[in-house]
Structure 1
């Protein structure tokens, strides 16, 4: 299976390269701000599957750069999907729970209405809509709270802060499922193989870590597993204002992914242990 990946240094893209023999495209060879060029790369390739693991992910900055984010998160995956459809190539696109309103307490189902509350969510929704409209064999994998030993993420931030502080205040009213990038990559590779074998497979699915926790509880587990003596105090979102509105509910219902692809939601505590082992002597 020849896999072409958009993204090279991001968390999921890095894990895909660790887990499979893939061709990973960085900004130097596939700039998502040029959707036509991305489509041309697909048209000229000999790949069997394309996975888009690249995105504009600066959630707060997107409030001022929505047009730029829209090109990268909306127009680029749309162009990729059309190019894949033209050559009959399965396409997998990584998306986000931010396409929802972020309210309530029930896990978001695939069938729930979308209502993004910030610029990032709106641009990611545009990408989803473009991928579906392209008409080829495609799958959209929505995920949340991604973490790994690579790049910038909550786990690495907490470990870095613990080097100089023994007490932290962390948001406690945002609830979601931390999701190891390694498990997202594994799921995407399994989906790719299954889609190659069955042209009827695809659709939109959710993949989030279990059990659901608050950011404060997530931080507490990080320090517990890392054997770091840091006291975590929970605070409301109102006490930690950000330019972009953050969802209070990022819980994800993974029923359709398990039914259609036999892929269960990951245990994030196990994934956290693996990440901490990798980072043991670096942070």
Structure 2
């Protein structure tokens, strides 16, 4: 099977690339800008047709949550229009689209882990643009699997873990919000889950399913930051603060824990706890230095 991974220079795309050693029987094609602009529908379809792509894994996204508030056109261009281009190509070629979405499609006012069929109500431009991408995929009629995830981090690129490591080495004390609760997700775990899903799908079946995936467990950003400092034996003190003490252009969900029962049962996945994955990532990346 020929598999295209878009956004291959990002966190998840990089972990998917790192995971592939050519022994799985698939041919993987990794693309990113400027090689392939997912918002150019004609080029996307031509690329997929020329390479006989059977599965598209879309890791490309506008993820600058705060910047999206001042540049909504850019966020929607990538997160909605780009998803629509990939969906159109998948539909035209009878390919499967695996699309990565976000917990930000929910408003974060819930008190139990969000299920896939819970009402969506994004509270910012980023969340609305990602939801619009999900809707465009559904409306296209292509075979698709949408995977919503949360609090993604990696040894690659910019993320919360790497920011905390930098601040922990530069400062004696930092404040981190304790009233936003969710689950960190190591992108290497999500990448492994996607590969496992592709190995277990029925190649002749058409799909129209949404799944949730994050690591197991629950914590606040404050708890997450403390765990990072402790893992690397950094002396920086982490103090709990409320969200209003750290205002941001975009509102953040106060509760964004995802229910993962569906993806576990469909694909027989064993999902690691977030703290175990954090320690493994730091160990493998040599303290998140990549």
Shorter-chain TM-score range: over 0.9
Structure 2 residue 276 is the aligned partner of structure 1 residue 270: yes
1:18 matched to which residue of 2?
A: 18
- The 3-state SS of whatever aligns with 1:272 is helix
TM-score of the pair, normalised by structure 1: 0.95
Q: Partners of 1:55 and 1:240 in 2: how far apart? A: 25
Q: Partners of 1:89 and 1:122 in 2: how far apart? A: 26
1:80 matched to which residue of 2?
A: 86
1:175 matched to which residue of 2?
A: 181
Q: Specify which of 61, 64, 68 is matched with residue 58 of structure 1.
A: 64
Task: Tell me the C-alpha RMSD between the 2 structures.
Answer: 1.6
Judge conservation of contact 1:90–1:195 (CA < 8 Å) in 2: no
Judge conservation of contact 1:254–1:264 (CA < 8 Å) in 2: no
Stretches of structure 2 that go unaligned for 5 or more consecutive residues are 23-27
The count of corresponding residues between Structure 1 and Structure 2 is 283
- Going from structure 1 to structure 2, the CA distance change for 1:16 and 1:202 (only over 3 Å counts) comes to farther
1:254 matched to which residue of 2?
A: 260
- Going from structure 1 to structure 2, the CA distance change for 1:275 and 1:282 (only over 3 Å counts) comes to closer
- The 3-state SS of whatever aligns with 2:169 is coil
Judge conservation of contact 1:146–1:178 (CA < 8 Å) in 2: yes
- More displaced, 262-271 or 18-27? 262-271
1:218 matched to which residue of 2?
A: 224
Q: Specify which of 104, 111, 125 is matched with residue 110 of structure 2.
A: 104
- More displaced, 83-92 or 112-121? 83-92
Stretches of structure 1 that go unaligned for 5 or more consecutive residues are none
Structure 2 residue 12 is the aligned partner of structure 1 residue 3: no
Judge conservation of contact 1:51–1:91 (CA < 8 Å) in 2: yes
Q: Partners of 1:281 and 1:100 in 2: how far apart? A: 32
Q: Partners of 1:92 and 1:65 in 2: how far apart? A: 26
Alpha-carbon offset, residue 129 of structure 1: 0.6
2:77 matched to which residue of 1?
A: 71
